[in-house]
Each structure stands twice: as structure tokens, then as C-alpha cells.
Amino acid sequence: MSKGNVLVTGGAGFIGSHTAVELVAAGYRPVVVDNLANSNRDVLKRMAAIVGEPVAFHEVDCTDAEALEGVFQTEGPFVGAIHFAAYKAVGESVERPTAYFLNNIGSTAVLLDALTAHGVRRLVFSSSCTVYGEPETTRVDETAPIRTAESPYGYTKQACERLITDHHTAHPALNATLLRYFNPIGAHPSAQIGELPIGRPNNLIPFLTQAVAGLREPLTVFGDDYPTPDGTCIRDYIHVVDLARAHVAALERAPEGVSVYNLGTGNGASVKEVIDAFERATGKAVPHAMGPRRAGDVVAIYADASKAWRELGWKTERSLEEALADAWRWQEAVTR
Ligand code: UFG
């Protein structure tokens, strides 16, 4: 027996598709809503191949209240919703701030009204550690102050967190969990789904795997003169399957009201350490060269995720090497 329908906006995207798969594994029926702005229909077939049954899908833009209402009419009632649908490229957000405000904040507003109109009691929101800006400490817990956003993208995450909190004050029946991701990487071990960047990847792992596959020039390490042990920036890279499972845990175990959790491994890895770990995990050399710093990069940040361990009964289970091996298997599958 199904535990109920869960609306998954942006469910054809990188984290959304992995979460929909984990929802099925946990006994839910995900209903994917996606405008395919940064994904494609094939992903639905690949998800179905993993879970062994079709996944409900509606090609709908979440800023379109009428179309979203149609989904509630045909697929409801929902025991919860997970809101991934958003634009997510930091650099692009600087070029197109209006698009980021309209899409990211607009879709959240439209969704909140629909959830309340239909009496849905739980929302899980896809946020980011970017809300902390340049933090005072390298290990960051949820009490760290929200600082001025470095980009319009970062601002939309802060604004959505605020909007969801304000909406809860006005409509307390809708409980919400804000999940602040650190750096999601890897792919499903089946190599059916993974990250599909359009064009030149901005993020480290997709660029690295494409460079190893010979699709790009060697990876440029953005700065090796930072005040870190090996001079390169430190991040907390979390396997996307571990991250996906945290959404199921939040749906089931987050307390009433508005709660917030950092999602990371709790361990930092430098860019050089990532390159070494990739070579160990795959036996492939990473062509790379040192380069200048990238504007806007935080020196070192990793998660104190102990609140999520305590309250959600969730922990990361996959190592950095495993995540990198899965990312490489996925790269090989899409290159073929
Ligand atoms: N890096 C390189 N070379 C590259 C790409 C990245 O050296 O070609 C380095 C970066 O300088 C950084 C690390 O690899 O030190 C990770 O960079 P990513 O671009 O993969 O990730 P970021 O930590 O910069 O960005 C992530 C999310 C954003 C979010 C941000 C908040 O992708 O959505 O964290 O800090 F806004």
C-alpha cells in the first residue's frame, strides 16, 4: 500500500530525480512536475527503469497557477510536497536577475498558495549553504547568520526561506522544512540518472568528469594560494543519493512548524583532495592545471550536519570515493 502521493517539483532535475526514486523505495508515489527547462523527458524513462514502474509526470511550469491547480485536481491529495524547481546557476543569475527572481521566488509563492488551498500539511524546500555567504567559521551549523547573498541566485534562496516562514506564520497548517545543501555530487549507482549540465559545466565534478572523458580541456584548479593546508578551496561534497534520502527523512520525521537542516557529510575536502580521490576511485588520471582564483569563491566551508542526524535519524552513508566513482560511471554512460 502506498504511503501517499508526494508532489515533486523539479523532479526531472539532478536532485529531484534521485529523490523521486528514493520516495518510491520508501513506499510513496511521487508525482513529478517539471517544465523541462534544464532536463528532459528521457529522465522519466530512466527513473522508471530504476524503480520498475512508470513515474507520474506533468510538464508544468510551477509559476503557472492554473496548470499547477490541474495537477492537484488530477493527482491529489498529496501527503507532502518537495520543491526543487528553480534556476540554479550562480553566474547566469548575475546576467539574468529578473528571470531568477520571477522563476525561483514566483514558483515558490504559487506553490505555497496551492498547498494551502489544498490542505497539504508538509513542504520540504531545496535550499543551499549559499544562504550563509562567506561564513565566520569553516564548520557551519544552522545558527550561523544569514549574510548578504553573493549572487541573485543566493538571494532567491534566502528570499524563499523567508517567504516560506512568513507563509507558515499566516497559515500554520503547512509545516515546512528548509534543507540547506552543501555540494551535491555523484549519480545513481545504476548510472541511469545523474547530473546533466547543459553546455560548459560551472561546477567542479561535472567539469572534472568531462575533462577526463576528453570532452573538455584540462580542469583548471581555481586558485592554490588560499589559506588552507594545500592552498585550494575546501567544500563538503555529499553523494546525491544520501541527499535524496534526507528528503524522505524530512518528510517523515521533521517536527511541526518550520525547521531547518544542513545537509552535508560534515567533512571538508580540498580541490586537490577531490582530484586525488577521483584518481584512486577510478584509476583515471585527471588532466588539470593550476589557475587563478575564481571571483566570489568562499575559501572553506563544510557542514555541521549533526542536527539532521539527531532529529531526522539520517546520516550520510557514501564516501567521497564512492560519489566520484558513481559520477564517473554516469559520465561514461552519457558519453557512450
Ligand atoms: N572549482 C575549480 N575548477 C572548476 C570548478 C570549480 O577549481 O572548474 C573549484 C571551486 O573554486 C570551488 C570548488 O571547486 O573551490 C567547488 O566549486 P563548485 O562550482 O562545484 O561549487 P561551489 O561550492 O562554488 O558552489 C556550490 C553550488 C552553488 C552554491 C554554492 C554556495 O554549486 O549552487 O555552492 O557556496 F551557490
Task: Give percent above pLDDT 90 in the chain.
Answer: 96
Q: pLDDT at position 198, please? A: 84
How many angstroms does the Cα of residue 214 sit away from the middle of ligand 1? Answer: 21
Residue 195 has pLDDT above 80, yes or no: yes
Measured between alpha carbons, how far is 331 from 291 in angstroms, rounded to an integer?
Answer: 24
Is 215 a residue whose pLDDT tops 80?
Answer: yes
State in Å: Cα 281 to ligand 1 middle.
21
**Ligand 1 center from residue 294 Cα (angstroms):** 9
Which atom of ligand 1 is nearest to 291's Cα? 7
* Cell numbers found for residue 252: 517523515
**Is the bond leading into 30 cis (omega within 30 degrees of zero)?**
no
Percent of the chain exceeding pLDDT 70 equals: 100
User: Is residue 210 lining ligand 1, measured as CB closer than 6 Å?
Assistant: no
pLDDT tens track for 21-37: 999 999 999 999 999 99
Q: Given a cut of 80, is residue 295 above it in pLDDT? A: yes
Q: What is the pLDDT of residue 74?
A: 98
87 is catalytic: no
Distance 204 CA to ligand 1 centre (A): 6
Rounded Cα gap, residues 318 and 44, in angstroms = 25
pLDDT of residue 208: 98
- Ligand 1 pocket, residue 154 CB under 6 Å: yes
Mutate to test the pocket of ligand 1, among 233, 272, 324 (most ligand atoms within 8 A of CB): 233
How remote is the CA of residue 233 from the centroid of ligand 1, in Å? 9
**Position 150 confidence tier, pLDDT thresholds 50, 70, 90:** confident
* 230, 274 Cβ separation under 8 angstroms: no
SS3 257: coil
Q: Residue 133: left (phi > 0), alpha (psi -120 to 50), or beta?
A: left
Count H helices, E strands: the chain?
Answer: 12, 15
- 56-59 and 29-34: which strand pairing? parallel
Mutate which of 151, 204, 230 to test ligand 1's pocket (most atoms within 8 Å of Cβ)?
Answer: 204
Which range, of 76-80, 119-123, 293-297, averages the lowest pLDDT?
293-297
Helix 106-117 crosses helix 152-170 at what angle (to 10 degrees)?
20
SS (H, E, C) 267-315: CCEEHHHHHHHHHHHHCCCCCEEEECCCCCCCCECEECCHHHHHHHCCC
Q: Cα 139 to the chain's mean position, in Å?
A: 20
pLDDT at 186 over 90: yes
Q: How far apart are CA 247 and CA 178, in angstroms?
A: 10
Q: Which atom of ligand 1 is nearest to the CA of 208?
A: 8
- Catalytic residue chosen out of the listed positions 28, 132, 153, 155: 153
And the C-alpha cell for 307? 542536527
Residue 263 clears pLDDT 80, i.e. is over it: yes
So what's the pLDDT on residue 96?
A: 96
> Is 12 a residue whose pLDDT tops 90?
yes
Regarding the beta carbon of 90 and ligand 1, being less than 6 Å apart is answered yes
For the segment 162-177, the average pLDDT, to the nearest whole number, is 98
- Is the pLDDT at 336 greater than 80? The verdict is no
Whether 14 and 26 have beta carbons less than 8 Å apart is answered as no
**pLDDT grade, residue 72 (50/70/90)?**
very high
**Per-residue model confidence (pLDDT) at position 123:** 98
Question: What is the Cα–Cα distance from 170 to 163, expressed in whole angstroms?
Answer: 11
CB of 203 closer than 6 angstroms to any ligand 1 atom: yes
Average pLDDT, the chain: 97
> Is residue 183 scored above 90 in pLDDT?
yes
- Report the pLDDT value the prediction gives residue 134, as an integer from 0 to 100: 87
Residue to substitute in 271, 286, 324 for testing ligand 1 pocket (most ligand atoms within 8 angstroms of CB):
271
pLDDT the model gives residue 176: 98
Say if residue 106's pLDDT is above 80: yes
Q: Are 296 and 269 in contact (CB under 8 A)?
A: no
Query: With 90 as the cut, is the pLDDT of residue 179 above it?
Result: yes
Would the pLDDT of 59 be above 90?
yes
Closest residue by Cα to residue 31 from 52, 1, 11: 11
Q: Is the CB of 222 under 6 A from ligand 1?
A: yes
